[in-house]
Amino acid sequence: MSIYILEEINTMEKQVRQRLWEIDTLRGFALLLMIIYHLLYDLKEFYNVDITYNQGIFFIIGKTAAILFILIAGVSCTFSKNNTLRAFKLIAWGYVIFLIMYIVVPGSNIVFGILQFLGVCLLLSPVFKNIAPYVLAAIGTVIILAGEVTPQLSVSHNWLVPLGFWGPSFSSVDYFPLIPWFGIFLLGISLRKVLYKQEISLFATASKYFRPLASIGKHTLIIYLIHQPLIMAALYIIFH
């Protein structure tokens, strides 16, 4: 009987240590949507291809990618024990991208882009980790709704840009202010508390059709960092 119990405990420990494949799959799917959106953006902005990427189905593709990324980041952060290190890593990479874009594409300003935003979210996450999931969901919803108000407020400076308040001179091609996007991050933490109390996948095994996406989702950061240079290089070769 004791041997059987030990085997059951070992099995449970292995399940806990396993990655949540459905989370990796969703992350991979979001990454593909983001690559598609950035391809459309580059075609329009750099090669004047007649594509309206900021409305209709293409706009929905871009927003869906962003929402999935942030929601999954909220779910995943509570499984990690080194969020502070991950946060500063993301913020640092965000500034690297800012400098590269500033040099390569003058005028393409990136202020508080997705990487800086996610880094700050990770730094703030310990404040919310012990709050009940439904309270978190309520706070997140309020922050999301507040995002409908902040753009209408008149501000004379850009000191509060990370919060969602900006002045007349502000511009950024990649901008994710805490209001409203931090609300989505909190919804992710809330979902984690409700769906992953036992810290194991909701589904026993991954379908073979989802495995490629799950594999991509395991390497999100590196793919995020290299996808734009690869897209721009490919487009340069095609159009020149």
Please write the tens of the pLDDT for every residue from 69-104. 999 999 999 888 889 999 999 999 999 998 988 888
Quote the distance between the C-alpha of residue 77 and its chain's center: 11
Transcribe 88-146 into DSSP letters: HHHHHHHHHHHHHHHHHSTT---SS-HHHHHHHHHHHHHHHTTS-HHHHHHHHHHHHHH
d(CA 46, CA 42): 5
What are the tokens at 35? 């690559």
Which pLDDT value is given to residue 110? 87
Average pLDDT of the residues in 162-174: 90
Helices (H), 48-82: 56-77
* pLDDT number for residue 215: 92
Given this model, what pLDDT does residue 18 score?
A: 59
For the chain, give the percent of residues with pLDDT over 70: 92
Q: What is the pLDDT of residues 3-58, one digit of tens each?
A: 433 343 344 334 434 578 999 999 999 999 999 999 999 999 989 999 999 899 99
